Structure 1
Amino acid sequence: MIPPIVSFAALFCYVYARVNAYLPIQDVWPYAFPQAWRLWIAFLIVLPIFAMVQLLWLLASAWVSRRFGGRGKSKGREQEGYMMLNGGERTTEDGEWNQEHGARSHPARSRLPGVATLLWYAECILCAYVALYGYYHYKHHEYEGDTRYRPTLYKALADPHRRPSGYGRGEKIFIAAAFHQNEAVIPYWTRTMLDTIVYLGSDNVFVSIVENYSSDRSPDLLREFASELDRRGVRNRVLVQDETVKKPEDVQWNPRIEFLAAIRNQALEPLLHTGGYDKVLFSNDIYIEPESVIELLETRAGDFDFACGLDFGHFGAYDMWVLRDRVGRLTAGIWPYFFDTADYEAMKAEEPVPVFTCWNGIVVFQADPLLPVHLRSNRTLSTSPLAALPPPNHPWTKKVAESPALTPPLAFRASAEGECYSSESFLLPYDFRRIMGLGKVYANPRVISGYVWVYYVWHKWVLRQRHVKWFVEQVWDGAWMQYARMIVGDAKQVWTWDGVDCHPWW
């Protein structure tokens, strides 16, 4: 029994070290990658490998025993037995000599296998089952809930006569993105978007991209993408090496946010000039699957004002600077992320989670709040007054009209004096809620994205593998998640503004 235990322990230590090296653990925020999770993942990797090794050892040992052990036993019997002479009666190991019939009679032997043989068969069956079970789940590692729209997508991609009107609900979608130094992610992102556009329909999409100040291959990759969009008949505006928005000398604090807000607003310019689109899909420089983009668009069957996914990085949930739960509280970097009971229950059910604000790598939102009044569809914004006006120091308080339908268009912006110091991607969903009265804001837990391939793989496929997911959600179940809150500054100095938790910074 000792050799198998030793070999299992040695293999486990090796695999556990490789898991830590893959992340790599020294570069991540430890609270977001609990050791218990990593130990369980290493165990799940080792178990089927060890079972296969044990099975091969059992079969090889049995073959060697039969092949060589039988010969030795036969030879030994010849040496220990007696040579029969004519007549007479002599007893040997193998039975008695029957003088009358001239034949050897063997004693009766049981046809039932011994206990050792039964144990050998049982061990072989168990090892084979564990090895095959592990191989099956290795080949089918994706969580089935994350691929609900893949069959529909593949059907669209396989259609030899692709429909310009698409295969979805027929909504007009304005796709926007901004890139800088992203040569690693752009090829993956563009493939995802091309597949998504097939599903949406080339007639239903406009693609607007801004790239600036890059010194890598990002401009060339985006030029190739623009050419492919032209070939497919997809309307687009792809600006590369564009320096219309001047980069500030000091890219920190509000000057940085103002710079990023201006770039995002630049990406929206074609929409603001013509209108004609129902929703905006705005993406960061992320890895994401096309079926995940469709999942996001189909959040609550399209019944939302603002919907986002979950993005991940080296400290777990990435965009915690933006994400707030349903009641405006800060969130954690590990599952279930939210401390509010209603949000926790939604996460357990893998249903869209009601949140106060979010961005998380990729969002879809109603286009009307950003459009000039005369270009709006009049299907989204209320014609009644706001239930409650924003605080007096909100920069839009004086611009609020008698109803959201008549309020001037929103835009990405930086924080005003007295507000939470926040990013432009926090302030847009916040303004949706407080200026336009649009409160149907949801985070879709089935939509996973990441900025670095290693962490994308970890959160998209490793942590959502069936048995890992069970451990994280049913066994660990948010243990010590309070320590995984990413707070910028002193946690004791968190303050509240207009019902929203604010990072204290320094």
Structure 2
Amino acid sequence: MENGDSTDNTISQLNAFKIKLNEANIQNTIIIKKIIQKSFHRFNYLSEIRNEALEPLYNLKWNAIDTRIIFLNDIYYKVSDVINLINTNSMEYDFACGVDFYYAFYDVLVSRDFNKSNLMNYYPYFKNPVDQKLVRNGLPVRVFSGWNGMVIMKAAPFINHNVFFRQNQLDETMESECYFICKDFWKLGFNRIYINPNVKVAYSPIFYYLHKYCMGPVNIFTDWYYWLIED
């Protein structure tokens, strides 16, 4: 789903990708069109786009049990990042996402820990010492919500339970449509939601390589430094 406002060569890349998929007889639906923002509210607008992107899920009658959905924002990533995210917690999850970056961890708007507390923009992202230890050991952290540029989730809530991207209801505070997907997953019992700290994506090539390849040693040194001070 390309909403027509990309300023790079995304559209030409998608057209070329579609040709490759067709040549390999891989079923695909690639939608490229200029979308006029009907709603003034950003979250409602994004909900409409994401719901339209999911239409092939219903039209093609995918198997709800075996199907997983991958959503990618306008991020830089490698195929290995997608594979690593798929394999989160040995694939024992309902919803998994990585960590996205500009200068620092970006999507704290959506991300909440298991107790619904906000995350931090900086390493190790979580305030809870148990969660911090998991991050430092490169292990997935179970959370209440997340999105973080790239997410993989089970299709069953959408196909069997009519879950869809939405705005807040009257009795809810204003949050991102991505937050409410997680909230609705929880309501239905699909509550194995994880952030995988090993999957790092970013919104520019510089920040991608910075956080994926350079910040690891910096974070280790910072941890060591503060450990010395506290000790």
Q: Cα 1:249–1:326, aligned 2, differ >3 Å: closer, same or farther? A: closer
Displacement, 1:426? 1.1
Displacement, 1:299? 0.7
Amino acid at match of 2:57: L
Secondary structure at 1:322 match in 2 = coil
Equivalent residue number for residue 62 of structure 2? 275
Which residue of 416, 430, 453 maps to 2:183?
430
Task: Report whether the alignment pairs 1:265 with 2:51.
Answer: yes
Contact 2:101/2:202 (8 A) holds in 1:
yes
Amino acid at match of 2:37: K
Amino acid at match of 1:319: D
Secondary structure at 1:304 match in 2 = coil
Distance 2:226 2:25 in 1: 49
Gapped runs of 5+ residues in structure 1? 1-208, 374-407, 480-506
Superposition pairs of residues 250-329 of structure 1, within 5 angstroms: 250=40, 255-273=41-59, 274-276=61-63, 277-314=66-103, 316-329=104-117
Distance 2:74 2:211 in 1: 17
Distance 1:216 1:456 in 2: 17
Contact 1:325/1:355 (8 A) holds in 2:
yes
Distance 1:256 1:364 in 2: 23
Contact 2:98/2:147 (8 A) holds in 1:
yes
Distance 2:213 2:68 in 1: 29
Q: Cα 1:265–1:419, aligned 2, differ >3 Å: closer, same or farther? A: same
Distance 2:112 2:57 in 1: 28
Task: Report whether the alignment pairs 1:231 with 2:28.
Answer: no
Distance 1:458 1:214 in 2: 24
Which residue of 17, 38, 50 maps to 1:248?
38
Q: Cα 1:421–1:241, aligned 2, differ >3 Å: closer, same or farther? A: same
For the aligned residues, what is the CA RMSD? 1.9
Superposition pairs of residues 18-37 of structure 1, within 5 angstroms: none
Superposition pairs of residues 395-434 of structure 1, within 5 angstroms: 408-434=161-187
Amino acid at match of 2:25: G
Distance 2:156 2:39 in 1: 35
Amino acid at match of 2:10: S
Amino acid at match of 1:473: D
Question: Which has the larger Rg?
Answer: 1
Task: Report whether the alignment pairs 1:355 with 2:143.
Answer: yes
Identity over aligned pairs, percent: 31
Task: Report whether the alignment pairs 1:460 with 2:212.
Answer: yes
Amino acid at match of 1:239: I
Displacement, 1:215? 5.7
Which residue of 4, 9, 14 maps to 1:222?
14
Amino acid at match of 2:109: W
Distance 1:291 1:214 in 2: 24
Contact 1:248/1:256 (8 A) holds in 2:
no
Distance 1:327 1:213 in 2: 37
Equivalent residue number for residue 145 of structure 1? none
Alpha-carbon displacement from aligned partner over 1:107-148 (angstroms, at most 9, x marks no partner): xxxxxxxxxxxxxxxxxxxxxxxxxxxxxxxxxxxxxxxxxx
Contact 2:123/2:219 (8 A) holds in 1:
no
Amino acid at match of 2:75: I
Contact 2:39/2:45 (8 A) holds in 1:
no
Q: Cα 1:461–1:265, aligned 2, differ >3 Å: closer, same or farther? A: same
Secondary structure at 2:145 match in 1 = coil
Contact 1:306/1:442 (8 A) holds in 2:
yes
Superposition pairs of residues 340-351 of structure 1, within 5 angstroms: 340-351=128-139
Displacement, 1:310? 0.4
Amino acid at match of 1:367: A
Distance 1:362 1:461 in 2: 18
Gapped runs of 5+ residues in structure 2? none
Displacement, 1:343? 1.1
Amino acid at match of 1:418: D
Displacement, 1:476? 4.1
Displacement, 1:428? 0.5
Amino acid at match of 1:247: Q
- Could you tell which deviates more after superposition, 345-354 or 322-331? 345-354
Distance 1:299 1:218 in 2: 28
Contact 1:280/1:364 (8 A) holds in 2:
yes
Distance 2:116 2:5 in 1: 35
Which residue of 423, 427, 440 maps to 2:192?
440
As a proportion of its length, which structure holds more helix? 1
Displacement, 1:416? 1.8
Displacement, 1:439? 1.5
Secondary structure at 1:417 match in 2 = coil
Alpha-carbon displacement from aligned partner over 1:316-369 (angstroms, at most 9, x marks no partner): 111000001111001111111101232112112211101110000111111100
Q: Cα 1:440–1:215, aligned 2, differ >3 Å: closer, same or farther? A: closer
